[in-house]
Structure formats: structure tokens, C-alpha cells
Amino acid sequence: AQSVAQPEDQVNVAEGNPLTVKCTYSVSGNPYLFWYVQYPNRGLQFLLKYITGDNLVKGSYGFEAEFNKSQTSFHLKKPSALVSDSALYFCAVRDGGNYGGSQGNLIFGKGTKLSVKP
Amino acid sequence: DAGVIQSPRHEVTEMGQEVTLRCKPISGHNSLFWYRQTMMRGLELLIYFNNNVPIDDSGMPEDRFSAKMPNASFSTLKIQPSEPRDSAVYFCASSLKGVGKSNQPQHFGDGTRLSIL
């Protein structure tokens, strides 16, 4: 069964400092990994994805994520946080070996609230 | 480009009433998903369609919930009768799915905030 864990409910960072939002996953096959961001009263917006290839993936708004197969992790990072990055962040995983039926769906983590203070 | 469009954005109604939520997916997308988001349970997948056919409705909480997709550009999620515990934000998402396309991201609408009094 697929699963994804975001161990932190909230991450607090000072503006200008680097940020990391953690995500670990479990799938039976090769993972397809995604990060989404949700601003207040809005739907989830796609940030970046890892499918295959380079373990460091770059996405929107200066975010990047590093795929680590041995640690089954896909942490979201940004070198210098902005106050406008404050939002709810979701990690999601899909089993890359199955795209039909329910196993083809994304499994979302519970979300991590990122708060960036000036 | 128009994204996923949901209506209404807000709905307040009394328990026992029928509620219908609407979704227009992105043109060309062939998969459509209905999610429910609450503080307690986070984001839950209710049902998803592929090429207008319901594939997995195991997340639909009860028989009071039903979803339809009569054509590629429209879907509804209906709750009848509604109960206070159905209060949540309901999201619709769409994506392009098919052979070699399982890595396509889902695109979300801005949701319907439903309050059942």
C-alpha cells in the first residue's frame, strides 16, 4: 500500500533563512512524487515532481526537492524563504508501476503549515 | 487558460437539504477527482473518473453522497440529505491520464466551502 508522511504539522522560519519541509513515502514500486502548495481559500497548486532522473528537482517559486531513495524521502527546500511562502504544503506519492485503478491515484500527506516571519 | 472551475464557491444550507456541487475540468483532461478537506481528516479522495466513467468510489463516505460525470466537461457531487458533519471544503481536480501519462499533475479548482447548519 502507498503512504506518505509529513512529520511536522508546522514549520517556522525567519525570512531570508533556508527552509525545509519534510516528506517520507512508502510504495511497492517506483515512486512518483509531487509537492503542492495551498494558499488560504484556494485550491492546491502544483509545485514540482520527481519521476526519474536527477535526484534534485527544481520547481516553481524557487523551490526544489531532493529525492533520496535509501531514506525514502522527498524533502522540499528553498535557499531563502519569503514571507509570501507562508502556506500549507502537501507532499503526494503515486506508485509509478500502477496507473490504473485506485493505485494510480495520488496519496496526499496531511500537510505542513509553513510560517515565514519577517 | 481556464483552470478547473467549481461552483458555487460557498454554500450554506440547513441539514436535510440536497446539495449539488459542480465542476468543470480543464479542457482535454480525461481524469476528474473529487476531494474533501477538513481540519480533522485532511484531504480525502472521494471518487475519481476516467473518461467519464467512475473508477474508484471507495472514498465516498455514505450512500448520501453521489457523483456523476455526464460528459467530459462537467461533473456533479450531490449530497442528499445533507448533515452538519458534511461541512468541509470540497475540491475538484483534473488531470491527463493514459499510457505513459501517469506522471501528470492534478490541477485543482478553488473549492466549494460547504456549511450545513
* pLDDT tens per residue across span A18-60: 999 999 999 888 889 999 999 999 999 999 999 888 999 999 9
Model confidence pLDDT, tens digit, residues B53-101:
998 898 898 899 999 999 999 999 999 999 999 999 999 999 987 655 5
Q: What is the dihedral of CA B107, B109, B110, B113, to 10 degrees?
A: -130
Q: What is the total residue count of chain B?
A: 117
Smallest Cβ–Cβ distance between A90 and the set B43, B93, B109 belongs to B43
Note whether B55 contacts A102, CB cutoff 8 Å.
yes
pLDDT of residue B101: 57
Give the chain A residue whose CA is nearest to the CA of B59: A102
Question: Tell me, what amino acid is at B72?
Answer: A
B24 touches chain A (CB under 8 A): no
Q: Do B110 and A99 touch (CB under 8 A)?
A: no
Provide CB contacts within 8 A for B30, sequence distance 6+: B50, B51, B72, B96, B97, B98
Residues B93/B117, Cβ–Cβ less than 8 Å: no
Count CB-CB contacts under 10 A for residue A112. Answer: 20
Percent of chain B at pLDDT > 90 equals 79
Please provide the average confidence, as pLDDT, over all residues in chain A.
91
Burial of A82 (0-12, 13-18, 19+ CB in 10 A): middle
A108 touches B: beta carbon within 8 Å:
yes
Inter-chain contact B56–A105, Cβ cutoff 8 Å?
yes
Residue closest to B66 by CA, chosen among B84, B85, B43, B86: B86
